Amino acid sequence: MRLMPLPQRQLSCGRLNLDLSIPHVMGILNVTPDSFSDGGKYQHVALAVQHAKEMMAAGASIIDIGGESTRPGASAVAVGEEIDRVIPVVQALSQHDVVISIDTSAPEVIRAAVAAGAHIWNDVRALTRDGALQTAVDLDIPVIVMHMRGEPTTMNDLDHYLDVTQDVITELQQRVDVALAAGIKPEHILIDPGFGFAKNAEQNLKLLHEFDQLNVMGYPIVSALSRKRFIGAVVGGTEAKDRVIGSVAAHLISVQQGACIVRAHDVKETVDALKMWQALQSS
């Protein structure tokens, strides 16, 4: 008797297929205005595409493109700007054999991105925006359902858990149930515990220690620990670059417990660590 569905071993991304029986690195591509200096829109696009190509060469299977100006609630104008930043990069990358995910909560942005060739919806707000569920159904694409409480502006006060891992699983399952009820296909659902979102350092560490409990949900698991503050709290140092090795270690620990996609800034370092792990699996 099997109590849970077996997680999808293949993720169908349009003409591309992702083999989830091996771990993959999702490279982070920020196209927010503060992530580059002057030089005009064309140069911004060219630099972003160049960065994406470097991550692909380093072994990223997925590029996660994020263009939301400020994490807290985007206005209608901001959504237009987000589209302007993200779409030219999607168009350029869709010519290549790489899975494109879009870090957005806005239905308008994901619709435009999928029309331009994007494959996966990575929504830190777990399809809670108006029209998000129906948009995911209409587009018929894989979605990453992440755990968070409140909004990025309010989440820091919402870190009260009885048992962080169990509570995250319960709350994630509620969002997954909402997605399924709306008509999203089970084979299109990936889950993510949302490290750093409404969780303090101690809770993030407990969640990583107990990461394998997420497997009870029966969906492929994404982990996104890259350079996050709680890594800095462990390894020390003030700059993001001081957190690279801690992030690689944390991602590896998540993969050992069942994560099949890790979202990372430092693709080469992460890919090498996962190659080492993979070599032991097939030995």
Told to judge if 228 belongs to the known catalytic residues of this protein, a careful annotator would answer: yes
Place of tokens 């101690």: 202
Our finding on whether 228 is near ligand 8Y4 (CB under 6 A) is yes
* Closer by beta carbon to ligand 8Y4, 68 or else 116: 68
- For residue 178, what is the enclosing H or E element? helix 164-182
Q: CB-based burial of residue 3 (10 Å sphere; 0-12 exposed, 13-18 middle, 19+ buried)?
A: exposed
Our finding on whether 192 is near ligand 8Y4 (CB under 6 A) is yes
* Closer by beta carbon to ligand 8Y4, 44 or else 263: 263
Told to judge if 185 belongs to the known catalytic residues of this protein, a careful annotator would answer: no
Our finding on whether 246 is near ligand 8Y4 (CB under 6 A) is no
Which residue is catalytic, options 185, 263, 268, 275? 263
Our finding on whether 224 is near ligand 8Y4 (CB under 6 A) is yes
In terms of C-beta distances under 8 Å and separation of at least 24 residues, what long-range contacts does 102-105 make, across chains too? Answer: 102/64, 102/65, 102/66, 103/64, 103/65, 103/66, 103/67, 103/68, 104/66, 104/67, 104/68, 105/68, 105/74, 105/129, 105/132
Contact segment (CB under 6 A) with ligand 8Y4 among 52-60, 110-118, 125-133, 224-232 equals 224-232
Our finding on whether 125 is near ligand 8Y4 (CB under 6 A) is no
Our finding on whether 263 is near ligand 8Y4 (CB under 6 A) is yes
* Closer by beta carbon to ligand 8Y4, 13 or else 224: 224
Our finding on whether 147 is near ligand 8Y4 (CB under 6 A) is no
Which residue is catalytic, options 125, 175, 228, 243? 228
206 CA to centre of own chain? 20
Among 27, 66, 107, 142, indicate the residue that binds ligand 8Y4 (CB under 6 A): 66
Q: Which residue is nearest to ligand 8Y4 (CB)?
A: 224
As given in the structure block, the two tokens for residue 254 are 């998540």
Cα separation, 283 vs 277, whole angstroms: 10
Cα separation, 220 vs 127, whole angstroms: 18
Contact segment (CB under 6 A) with ligand 8Y4 among 52-60, 92-100, 156-164, 220-228 equals 220-228
* Count of residues in contact with ligand 8Y4, rule CB under 6 A: 15
| CB proximity list for 241: less than 8 A, separation 6 or greater | none
Cα separation, 3 vs 54, whole angstroms: 42
Contact segment (CB under 6 A) with ligand 8Y4 among 175-183, 189-197, 248-256, 275-283 equals 189-197
Cα separation, 137 vs 182, whole angstroms: 7
Among 195, 211, 219, 230, indicate the residue that binds ligand 8Y4 (CB under 6 A): 195
Q: Calculate the alpha carbon distances from 92 to 41, 49, 65, 150, 279 in Å.
A: 14, 7, 12, 34, 33
Our finding on whether 122 is near ligand 8Y4 (CB under 6 A) is yes
Residues 262, 255 contacting (CB under 8 angstroms): yes
Residues 52, 63 contacting (CB under 8 angstroms): yes
* Closer by beta carbon to ligand 8Y4, 88 or else 246: 246
- The residues annotated with a catalytic role in the active site are 228, 263
Site residues, ligand 8Y4 (CB under 6 A): 66, 103, 122, 124, 144, 146, 192, 194-195, 222, 224, 227-228, 240, 263
